[in-house]
Amino acid sequence: MDSFPLVINFQGDYGMKVMMVDPDTTTIGEVARIAHDELVGVVVKPLPPGTRLVVRRHTDGQPLDDGKTVAAAGLVFLEAVDIVHG
């Protein structure tokens, strides 16, 4: 169930958004893809084809492994992450 909020700071967006995920099944790569699909072309200008997105902890800038789940990455309730062009 998507009952775990993350705060998303997507590069090029004017503000942060809250995204609800299932921490046990949603991967970090899926967080980036979902945010991209929801924001690009709406509040963020289109990105060049093939743009790689990197998810990083907002607090320390450490990149997170795309293949790990949100829970396995150790993210906590309402933690902020930055999604940047890599």
Q: Which CATH class is domain 4-85?
A: alpha beta
Q: Hey, where are the domains in the chain?
A: 4-85
CA 53, CA 63: separation in Å to the nearest integer? 10
- Token readout for 29 is 């790569």
CB 44 within 8 A of CB 53: no
**Amino acid letter, residue 41:** G
pTM of the predicted protein model:
0.94
The rounded mean pLDDT for the chain is: 96
Which tens digit of pLDDT belongs to each residue from 40-72?
A: 999 999 999 999 999 999 999 999 999 999 999
